[in-house]
């Protein structure tokens, strides 16, 4: 079994390690050409996932052409904002490949989910495209700690095939055909985790956190309904599961970003100082504008947009949320 992983960030690297452990030959593509000699010499990605040696069955390349020629199964793990630009020149090669997307986000210019972007690039109806989501910190997957995820595709048979291909005793894979719900849950939990980080940074307590997470999930479900997702999907691994992990887990970049906002730092300064990607920063923009386009009420997302992109005072934002009119619980 041969697999190519496009993207050598923390998650792409961890997934490459996992696939190598279950017997696959791996080619890992890195955007940063300067990483390749170090990866080859040390077999460790010190830039994005330090402390983990990659098995000998993992090889490295800076050529996407080589990566696509190497395997029939292609794993995409680029940042969401870079996915289209990275893959567009290679659409013809992608069309007949088996594609599994690890990237979580919404494209800001088109409001497309990642599977829709890949379908467009490849000229594919989507039967050979799937997405993977669920509560899965890269470091814990690389350590071999038990993890459960879900694979979604329009083609449930394809989901089943991937499920069998990447499952292991410590990496349990479920399948579903609601790819919209799985993609949206994976994208929006990054947004909501920023809010959770702000609450944590302000020491508002667990009552506030529990209330916030509950209402955050309600917002995710509302947008999902507008896009045709099933509500039950958001109660699963890619919804509630990933939301809990990313909101409360100490390894969450999005939660840490929120905590830094709460300390008074500017969002642009935080992003510039980070080598790793904070996906929620980009997804807030897309989710806010998509909700406005569809007429979906998302007050948490709206306030986070004002804080992150317009510099709104956090205490003022919290007051605006708290003083909203009386509502029935949806």
Residue partners of 263: CB distance under 8 A and separation at least 6: 201
Mean pLDDT, to the nearest integer, of 184-200?
A: 98
CA–CA separation, 105 vs 158, rounded Å?
22
CA–CA separation, 86 vs 118, rounded Å?
11
Is the pTM higher than 0.85? yes
For tokens 């690039």, the residue is 121
Number of other residues whose CB lies within 10 A of the CB of residue 39: 22
Looking at every residue in the chain, the average pLDDT score rounds to 96
Catalytic residue numbers read 189
Runs of H (alpha helix) within 107-263: 114-122, 138-143, 156-166, 179-201, 206-227, 242-248, 253-262
Model confidence band, residue 117 (pLDDT cutoffs 50, 70, 90): very high
What pLDDT score was predicted for residue 95? 93
In this predicted structure, the answer to whether residue 216 has a pLDDT above a threshold of 80 is yes
- Domains located in the chain, CATH noted: 2-177 (3.40.50.720), 184-322 (1.10.1040.10)
In this predicted structure, the answer to whether residue 330 has a pLDDT above a threshold of 80 is no
What is residue 313's DSSP assignment? Answer: -
3-class secondary structure, 175: strand
Distances (CA, A) of 25 to 22, 77, 234, 289, 311: 9, 17, 34, 41, 47
What pLDDT score was predicted for residue 329? 84
Q: Is 324 exposed, middle or buried (0-12, 13-18, 19+ CB in 10 A)?
A: exposed
Q: pLDDT digit string (tens) for 248-304?
A: 999 999 999 999 999 999 999 999 999 899 999 999 999 999 999 999 999 999 999
């Amino acid at each position: 079994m041969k697999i190519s992983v496009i993207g050598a960030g923390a998650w792409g690297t961890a997934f490459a390690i996992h696939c190598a452990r279950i017997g696959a030959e791996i080619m890992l593509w890195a955007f940063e050409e300067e990483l390749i000699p170090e990866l080859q010499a040390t077999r460790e990605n010190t830039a994005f996932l330090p402390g983990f040696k990659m098995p000998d069955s993992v090889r490295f390349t800076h050529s996407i052409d080589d990566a696509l020629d190497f395997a029939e199964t292609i794993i995409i793990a680029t940042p969401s904002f870079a996915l289209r630009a990275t893959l567009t020149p290679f659409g013809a090669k992608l069309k007949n490949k088996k594609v599994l997307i690890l990237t979580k986000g919404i494209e800001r210019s088109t409001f497309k989910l990642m599977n829709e972007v890949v379908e467009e690039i490849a000229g594919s109806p989507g039967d050979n495209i799937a997405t993977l989501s669920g509560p899965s910190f890269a470091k814990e997957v690389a350590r071999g700690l038990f993890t459960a995820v879900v694979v979604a595709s329009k083609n449930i048979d394809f989901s089943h095939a991937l499920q069998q291909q990447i499952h292991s005793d410590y990496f349990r894979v479920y399948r579903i055909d609601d790819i919209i719900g799985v993609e949206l849950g994976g994208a929006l939990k990054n947004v909501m985790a920023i809010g959770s980080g702000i609450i944590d940074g302000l020491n508002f307590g667990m009552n506030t956190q529990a209330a916030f997470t509950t209402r955050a999930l309600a917002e995710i479900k509302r947008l999902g309904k507008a896009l045709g997702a099933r509500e039950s999907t958001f109660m699963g691994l890619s919804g509630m599961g990933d939301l809990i992990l990313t909101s409360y887990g100490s390894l969450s970049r999005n939660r840490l970003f929120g905590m830094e906002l709460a300390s008074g730092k500017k969002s642009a300064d935080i992003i510039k100082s980070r080598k790793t990607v904070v996906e929620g920063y980009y997804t807030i923009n897309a989710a806010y504008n998509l909700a406005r386009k569809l007429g979906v009420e998302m007050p948490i997302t709206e306030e986070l947009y004002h804080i992150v992109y317009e510099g709104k005072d956090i205490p003022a934002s919290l007051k605006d949320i708290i003083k909203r009119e009386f509502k029935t619980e949806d």
